[in-house]
A and B are shown apart, each in its own frame.
Chain A
Amino acid sequence: MTGSARVRFAAVALLLAVSAPARAAAPRLSIEAQLDKDHVAVGEEAQITVVAEARGVNLPDYALPSVPGLHIVRVANSQNFSWMNGNLSRSTTSIFLVSAAAPGRYTIPPVAIVSGRERAQTRPIVLDVGGATAQAPGAPGAPPGEAIPPRVWGDESLPEMFVRLVVDRRRAYWNQQITARFVLFARDRLEEVPMWEVAEANGFWKESLGEMKRGRVRVGKEDYIAYEQDVAYFPTRTGKLTLGPGRIEARVARATTAPDPWSLLGFPETQVETIPLQTESATITVLPLPEGAPPGFRGAVGRLSMDVRVDRLTARAGEPVTVATVLRGAGNLNTAGDPDVSASLPLRSFESPGAVSARNAGLEVRGERRHEKAFVPEVPGSFAIEPIRFSWFDPEDGRFHTQTSDSIRIRVVGGNDSTLASAAPAEPPAAPRGRPGPKGSLSLGPPAGAAGLGAGSLAALAGAALAAGVRRRVRLDPKRRRRSELERLARELAALEGPAASPSAAAARAAAILGESLGVRYGADVEGRSREETLLLTRKAGADEATVEEARRHLESLDRIAFAPATPGAASEAIAAARAFVERIAREAS
């Protein structure tokens, strides 16, 4: 590849790379619906929680479709939006209560949402009302008609693999964390890392406690590799509830009993086998919270505390004052309501729903729930943020707790007050310059000069490459090469026409050039050939009879002068005639 070709190749590759489509992005619209129990009595209510999320696109509104015989009411709706890495994310959580007046099996069709080209939909929701149950008997968590996988694989006394479900408590309060550990014990290394499939548990809010852990443990006298997935469950209703089972598929390599007779080496062969295993289920007794919940209690359970922050104590009229409540601690902060924040005056206010950030610590779900409310005072004066109360239930001591903030007074000054400390920057600003600085365009487009330089340079390069290409093509054209070669030979003949010192030598050289010209014109290899052989080869190469005869005459004439004394000037005439002949066949060549 020549230099110019490399340049063009690199430029084309660059343009292709620049115009390559971006990687496919992750789905930007999602919606999920969850039913808290799939079997209710006639008149009993089931709860459907629908969570819709949009990242970078609009989040459309939605509603559950009406189903004959079902009574569906939306009882709560919360919205949230956040910026994450420059992307706006919106989510809504809606809670619907569903009840039926007659027994039967009801199916709520999927709820679909569309935003631009993004589309998402829920799964159909099936609710059994009355005495019929949806599950196959005796197979909790197993699809109907499917055999229940064993808990142990191998010899019962010394199993190759077995699974366990361990829960940290069998009795818990409503919304108290229950930690479930799903563990697979395997004696040999598995072909690939297995993944636990933990079934949704009716009546629980589930939260995974990180990635699956792997480690070597000793069970009895044997060493095993344990694959453990920890899950936190928070009961959302009371009574006897069932957790699990957990399912897992382990892939193990087993040696075949008989070597393959067709195997060239006769070694025993191994076969990868998939072993499904399933844990037992655990029954949890969920106790209701004790009587006497303080006013304002909204379901927060755990070891929690509240922090209240106000962004300014002095504001200008029209400037928002933001009050942030931060609940933090161990517990399910997703279901803990935000405390009420109110002002002593009726002010324009904006509220953002609580945003939860979880930081799991070991087997405990910990986190922070931040809620902000901004008040916009319109006139100078003052107002107060009323004391904020937050109540929660601590299951460790079995008591309700309440934390109350102090009242916070906010001073409001006029909109043009320039002495306001809160709006003034904390660091001293750099002093004004008091003189003009560099001038320039605020447009982000290219300056005309830069655009001209770049485009002109590329055009010049393209022109040079184009011209070089044309010249190269011309040089490589066989007809043009032949003609230019014949023209060169004609010029050599013309140089011999003058008063040469030796006419015989000039004639001999001219005869040789004439023979070479015939070879070039007809593509024949005549080098070192005699006159007759040259003419014969020329004829075979396609020369017509008249041309061959004329060439013969010129060659004979030149030979005569070369080998016999000639009159002065005779050589020049013969050479001129030969040159005219060469010029003619050069014209014919193109």
Chain B
Amino acid sequence: MTGDAGVLYDAGTAALGRGSIGEATAFLLAAKRIDPRAGDIRRNLAIAERTVAGARGEELPPMPRGPSVALSAAEGWWLAAILVALGAAAGIAAIVRSERRLPAGRFARWLPRGAAAGIAAGLLLAAWLTAGAASERRHPEAVVVAMSVEARSGVDEAPRAPILMRAGERARAGRVHGDDVEVIIGGSPVGWVPRAALWNVADAPRYTAGFRYR
């Protein structure tokens, strides 16, 4: 799903203003995925996260200071592809020089090393991004939007004490069963909550005004 960082940011800021911390967190996380260096998105998301941490009695995360060098997933993928392409170009140049037995200068000696370094860096970055994408595909990032919700054990599971989740708490969505979705925290399922209580970050644009399915 595609989204507009400006529209998502405005929706998140409006939700923050009316105290809907869960919705604000979901919108701003979605906006940050598209435009991770925007100062206003980072600031308002930090405010939402500090509000959630304060309600949980946890240490408040710091407010963002100065410019950010973070990359969006798409930018990360392009960087990985460019690194691989540069490495491949250097490798092809090294092969051609070797085939034509051209004299080896300082630049030519560095071609194979540059090729290996470029390809290695690109593939490493791609592997990291692939792991993140696979994790998101398996268990999408989600945010509790209900004021509070109980994560209870499923019907076929051993009963365990319910866990209280508050608006703005971040988790990952697991299996879906009827109107319930499994909540995963730290890689472990902790219970089931109603689907309406949890928004997937990737689905946030559909809750913005003027959203149309294509």
> Which A residues are closer than 8 A to B by beta carbons?
2-4, 6-7, 10-11, 14-15, 18, 56-58, 60-61, 79, 81, 83, 86-88, 309, 311-312, 316-320, 322, 324, 350, 372, 374, 376, 415, 418, 420, 423-427, 429-447, 449-451, 453-454, 456-458, 460-461, 464-465, 468, 471
In chain B between 4 and 57, which residues have their CB closer than 8 angstroms to a CB of chain A? Answer: 4-7, 9-10, 13-14, 16-19, 21, 30-31, 33-35, 38-40, 43-44, 47-48, 50-51, 54-57
Contact A425 B4 (CB under 8 A): no
Query: Can you sample 30 A-B contacts with CB below 8 Å?
Result: A3-B94, A3-B95, A10-B116, A14-B120, A56-B186, A58-B188, A309-B57, A312-B55, A320-B55, A320-B147, A350-B162, A350-B164, A376-B148, A423-B51, A429-B16, A429-B43, A431-B40, A433-B9, A441-B3, A442-B3, A442-B34, A444-B129, A445-B133, A446-B126, A446-B133, A450-B77, A453-B82, A454-B80, A457-B85, A468-B99
**Which residues of the other chain, A, contact B84 by a CB distance below 8 angstroms?**
453-454, 457-458
Decide yes or no: A450 and B80 within 8 Å by CB, A436-B4, A438-B34, A471-B99 being known contacts.
yes
Minimum C-beta distance from A385 to chain B (A): 15
Shortest Cβ distance from residue B172 to the other chain A in the assembled complex, whole angstroms: 12
Within 8 Å CB of B205, what residues of A? Answer: 442
Given known pairs A14-B124, A468-B95, the reply for A83 and B185 (CB within 8 Å) is: yes
Contact between chains at A437 and B119 (CB < 8 Å):
no
Contacts of A433 in B (CB 8 A): 6, 9-10, 40
Docked-complex contact A440 and B2, CB < 8 angstroms? yes
Complex Cα–Cα for A87 and B184 (A): 11
Q: Which residues of B in the span 134-149 have a Cβ within 8 Å of any Cβ on A?
A: 136-137, 146-148
Quick check: B13 and A424 within 8 Å, CB to CB? Answer: no
Interface residues of B (CB under 8 A from A): 1-7, 9-10, 13-14, 16-19, 21, 30-31, 33-35, 38-40, 43-44, 47-48, 50-51, 54-57, 63, 72-74, 77-78, 80-82, 84-85, 87-89, 91-92, 94-99, 111-113, 115-116, 119-120, 122-124, 126-127, 129, 132-133, 136-137, 146-148, 150, 158, 160-164, 166-167, 185-190, 201-202, 204-205
Contact B9 A3 (CB under 8 A): no
User: Nearest residue in A to B108 (C-beta to C-beta)?
Assistant: A3
A429 touches B188 (CB 8 A): no
Are B1 and A441 touching (Cβ within 8 A)? yes
Residues in B neighbouring A468, C-beta threshold 8 A: 95, 98-99
A442 touches B188 (CB 8 A): no
Whole-angstrom distance between the Cβ of B180 and the nearest chain A Cβ? 18
Residues A87 and B1 in contact, CB atoms below 8 Å apart: no
Most chain A beta-carbon contacts within 10 A, residue among B56, B146, B164: B164
Bound state CA distance, A437 and B81, in angstroms?
Answer: 25
Do the beta carbons of B116 and A88 come within 8 Å of each other? no
Closest to B79 in A: A450
Cβ of B91 and Cβ of A374 under 8 Å apart? no
Supposing A3-B95, A464-B96 touch, asked if A437 and B164 sit within 8 A by C-beta, the answer is no
A432 engages B164 (CB within 8 Å): no
Contact of B111 among A3, A420, A429, A437 (CB under 8 A): A3
Q: Are the C-beta atoms of A464 and B92 separated by less than 8 Å?
A: yes
Contact A6 B112, beta carbon cutoff 8 Å: yes
User: Can you name 20 extra interface pairs (CB under 8 A) apart from A320-B166, A450-B77?
Assistant: A6-B113, A10-B120, A11-B120, A18-B127, A58-B188, A81-B163, A88-B186, A311-B55, A350-B163, A429-B17, A432-B14, A437-B6, A437-B34, A438-B35, A440-B74, A443-B1, A446-B77, A457-B84, A464-B91, A464-B95
**Interfacial chain A residues near B9, Cβ < 8 Å:** 432-433, 437
Contact A7 B5 (CB under 8 A): no
Name the B residues within 8 Å of A458 (CB-CB): 84, 88, 119
CA distance A447 to B71 in the complex (A): 14
Give chain A residues whose Cβ lies under 8 Å from the Cβ of B7: 436-437
Q: Is the CB of B187 within 8 A of A88?
A: yes
Chain A residues whose C-beta falls within 8 Å of the C-beta of B132 in the assembled complex: 444
A453 close to B85 (CB less than 8 A) = yes
Min C-beta distance of B179 to chain A, whole Å: 18
Known: A7-B119, A451-B77. A418 touches B19 (CB 8 A): yes
Given contacts A438-B5, A454-B85, contact A443 B185 (CB under 8 A): no
B116 touches A319 (CB 8 A): no
Distance between Cα atoms of A457 and B118 in the complex (Å): 12
In whole angstroms, how far apart are the Cα atoms of A447 and B120 in the complex?
Answer: 20
User: Judging by beta carbons under 8 Å apart, are B120 and A87 in contact?
Assistant: no
Collect the chain A residues with CB atoms within 8 Å of residue B56's CB.
311, 322
Q: Which of A61, A431, A438, A450 meets B78, CB within 8 Å?
A: A450
Closest 4 CB pairs of A and B: A437-B6, A10-B116, A3-B94, A457-B88
A-chain residues with CB within 8 Å of residue B94 when the two chains form the complex: 3-4, 7
Q: How many angstroms between the C-alpha atoms of A445 and B47 in the bound complex?
A: 28
Q: Which residues of the other chain, B, contact A374 by a CB distance below 8 angstroms? A: 148, 164
Q: Chain B residues with Cβ under 8 A from A430's Cβ?
A: 13, 39-40, 43-44
The listed residue with most A CB atoms (<10 A of its CB), out of B40, B56, B95, is B95
CB proximity of A56 to chain B, nearest CB, Å: 6
- Residues on B with C-beta less than 8 A from A3 are 91, 94-95, 97-98, 111-112, 115
Q: Which residues of B contact A457 (CB under 8 A)?
A: 81, 84-85, 87-89
Report the Cα distance A11→B122, complex, angstroms.
Answer: 11
- Note all chain B residues with C-beta closer than 8 A to A420: 19
Q: Which of A424, A446, A465 contacts B91 (CB 8 A)?
A: A465
Docked pose: A446 CA to B92 CA in angstroms: 25
CB <8 Å contact, A10 and B119: yes
Chain B nearest CB, measured from A79 CB (Å): 6
* Given A429-B13, A442-B204, residue A460 in contact with residue B88 (CB < 8 A): yes
Q: How many Å from the CB of A187 to the closest CB on chain B?
A: 50
Chain A residue numbers with a CB within 8 Å of B98 are 2-4, 468
Are the C-beta atoms of B202 and A424 separated by less than 8 Å? no
